[in-house]
Structure 1
Amino acid sequence: MHPAPSVIVFTVLSGLGFGFLALLGLGIADPKGWPAFWLWGLGYALAAGGLTASTAHLGNPQRALLAFTQWRTSWLSREAWTSVAALLLLAPCALGDWLGFDVPLLGLLGAALSALTIFCTSMLYAQLKTVPRWNHFSVPLTYGLFSLTGGAILAGTGWFALLCCLALGIALVWGFRAGDLRFAACGSTLSTATGLGSIGSPRVFEQPHTGGNYLMREMIHVVGRKHAQKLRVIAVLFAAVLPAPLTLWPSPLTIGLAVLLHLTGAFVQRWLFFAEAEHVVGLYYGKR
């Protein structure tokens, strides 16, 4: 799949933002006064900024509000509703931490909706049977762990952040391996793609088009295996391994450095997430 920058920014920043907001809502990170004002503001900026970035991928961004109308059938619509509900419910919690009063029930509900938002985001991709690498439970698991790990690092939670880093590293290594096996496991071949399997084993003699088209631009992206392996190592190192020791000595400097390292790995992983995803339409064009 074509790795669109706007979607990469959307999934990475909104995941970090909602993960951080969830920990603030649960009181795991419990700032008070002006520190609370700035930390809640950072969480809202990341979450809202990521959601806003997603509209850049739309042909007509002004129609983004239509996403709210299809909640019965669309994970995008469900994500829109849960994200707005989470931001609204957590607003009194932010004010409470700033001004000195508690609303724990709203914090709990807001944290749950933040987690549900991340799940809905992951299901935008995990639901697609036409992209076998995505159609697997490792996708919501990885999205959830990225959100939790980023939030825990940013909140300076010490050992909890370290455990999250370790869990994320293991999930990434396993997820890359599981994803490599998905296309073969789905059973899609050139025979099934063309519907000609009943008369033999077809092969591509010539491309169906003399030039490129929308499907080839958006659904087919080729990344070299050697480059992919290097990027996978970079993603695991920066997202999980390198930030891990920094989480044990939380300070503004170590937290900032750990978040920067984690985000670097997150952006690399998310680029690979799209670049390595093979749509079954590629079979028709002989690109598999």
Structure 2
Amino acid sequence: MHPAPSVIIFTVLSGLGFGFLALLGIFGAQGMAAFFLWGLGYGLAVAGLVSSTFHLGNPQRALLAFTQWRTSWLSREAWASVVTLLLFAPQALSDWLGLGWGRGFGMAGAAMAVVTVYCTSMIYAQIRAVPRWHHWTVPLVFVAYALSGAMVMGAMRPFAAWALVLLGITLALHWHFGKAAFAKAGATMESATGLGRIGAVSVFEQPHTGGNYLLREMIFVVGRKHADRVRIIAMVCSVMLPALALMLIPGMASVIVAVAFHLLGALAQRWLFFAEAEHVVGLYYGAR
């Protein structure tokens, strides 16, 4: 599929923001540090959510997403994100002003933050027409990125190391199963056109003389050598370089360097996530 920048930014920033908010909800902060840290988490989460509206045909209708929660993972994500941000608000206020309200709101918000990221992942994992997405590794990748990014931002070195290892394993599994997903789904040109009963089918002429939405959004081809290169960038920047930065660089500089590399790796992985998504509609156009 065409990797739209707005959706890439949405999934990366919102995941990182909700992951960091979950970390703050559990462990907390005090005083002005709490003010800035909670503000950073809210800023990332909200910026990611707002960026998603730029991919809508009519962004002013974004509020309609809240009406389809019974059937739509997008709607469930919208509700989950609102509930999460509301739960975190009293916890953030308590940490900032030292009100001593305990960690109840923070713990509940942390659980809902994970639910929100899961709902985001299911927007894609539910789509049977994209076999590479329709797999149990997709929610794991989204949640692992959120948690590992939060640990790196929080400079929780022992936890961050394990979170990064988990992310690396999850990415490897996702890429491994993704390679054979389209073939395993069994979709062919014959099944796409419904003409399999007469034998092998090939494209004599394109269905359209000009471009259309399906060609723009659903059919995108990335060369294998480029995909392999992006995978290396994603793994090295998301996992290896942040771990090395946290181990070898002293003080806050390690956090800044680790977060910068991790963010770069997350953007690379998410670009590839969309670029490699082979939609079965491409068969109808002879593009698979």
Q: What CA deviation, in whole Å up to 9, does each residue of 1:68-104 have, x standing for no partner?
A: 1111111011000010100001011111111112332
Q: What does residue 168 of structure 2 align with? A: 169
Residue of structure 1 equivalent to 2:281: 281
Does residue 136 (structure 1) correspond to residue 135 (structure 2)? The answer is yes
How much has 1:250 moved relative to structure 2?
Answer: 6.7
The aligned residue for residue 188 of structure 2 is: 189
Structure 1 counterpart of 2:22, which letter? A
Equivalent AA in structure 1 for residue 287 of structure 2: K
Shift of 1:26: 1.1
Q: For the aligned residues, what is the CA RMSD?
A: 1.0
Question: What is the deviation of 1:213?
Answer: 1.5
Of 50, 53, 70, which residue of structure 2 is paired with 1:52?
Answer: 50
Q: Quick check: 1:159–1:247 contact (8 Å CA) kept in 2? A: no
Question: Could you list the per-position Cα deviations for residues 212-255 of structure 1 after superposition, in whole angstroms to 9, with x for gaps in the alignment?
Answer: 22111110001111111001100000011110122346732110
Identity %: 60
- Number of the residue aligned with 1:68: 66
Q: Which amino acid aligns with 1:277?
A: A
Deviation digits for residues 12-55 of structure 1, max 9, x if unmatched? 0000000000011111xx32111111001000000001000001
**For residue 105 of structure 1, what is the aligned residue in structure 2?**
104
CA distance in 2, matches of 1:35, 1:105: 20
Whole-angstrom CA distance in 2 between matches of 1:254 and 1:218? 39
Q: Residue 63 of structure 1 aligns to which amino acid in structure 2?
A: R
Residue 265 (structure 1) aligned with residue 256 (structure 2): no
2:180 is paired with a residue whose SS is helix
Counterpart Cα distance in 1 of 2:126 and 2:37:
34
Please give the alpha-carbon distance, in whole angstroms, between the structure 2 residues aligned to 1:44 and 1:84.
11
Are 1:79 and 2:61 an aligned pair? Answer: no
**Matched AA of 1:202:** V
Counterpart CA distance in 2 for 1:251 and 1:96 is 28
Paired residue type of 1:111: A
CA contact (8 A) 1:7 1:57 kept: yes
In the alignment, does 2:6 pair up with 1:6?
yes
Moved more, 243-252 or 91-100: 243-252
Q: Distance in 2 between matches of 1:71 and 1:212?
A: 33
For the pair 1:227 / 2:226, whether they are aligned, the reply is yes
Q: CA separation in 1, counterparts of 2:281 and 2:150?
A: 37
Distance 1:250 1:116 in 2: 34
Cross-structure match for 1:25: 25
* 2:154 is equivalent to residue 155 of structure 1: yes
Q: Contact between 1:156 and 1:250, CA under 8 Å: does it hold in 2?
A: no
Structure 2 residues not aligned, in runs of 5+: none
TM-score when normalising by structure 2: 0.97
CA contact (8 A) 1:162 1:245 kept: no
The alpha carbon displacement at 1:166 in A equals 1.1
Q: Please list every run of at least 4 consecutive aligned residues from structure 1 whose deviation after the TM superposition is greater than 4 angstroms.
A: none
- CA drift at 1:203: 1.5
Contact 1:26-1:107 within 8 A present in 2 as well: yes
Paired residue for 2:144? 145
Q: 1:92 aligns with which of 90, 93, 115?
A: 90
CA distance in 2, matches of 1:96, 1:158: 26
C-alpha separation in 2, matches of 1:66 and 1:134: 25
Is 1:254 the equivalent of 2:259? no
Q: For residues 211 and 143 of structure 2, what CA distance do their matches in structure 1 show?
A: 36
| Count of residue pairs brought into register by the alignment | 286
SS of the residue 1:102 aligns to? coil
C-alpha displacement of 1:182: 0.3
Distance 2:102 2:93 in 1: 10
Per the alignment, in what secondary structure is the counterpart of residue 132 of structure 1?
Answer: coil
For 1:66, the aligned partner's letter is L
Measured in 1, the distance between the counterparts of 2:172 and 2:251 equals: 29
Partner in structure 1 of residue 39 of structure 2: 41
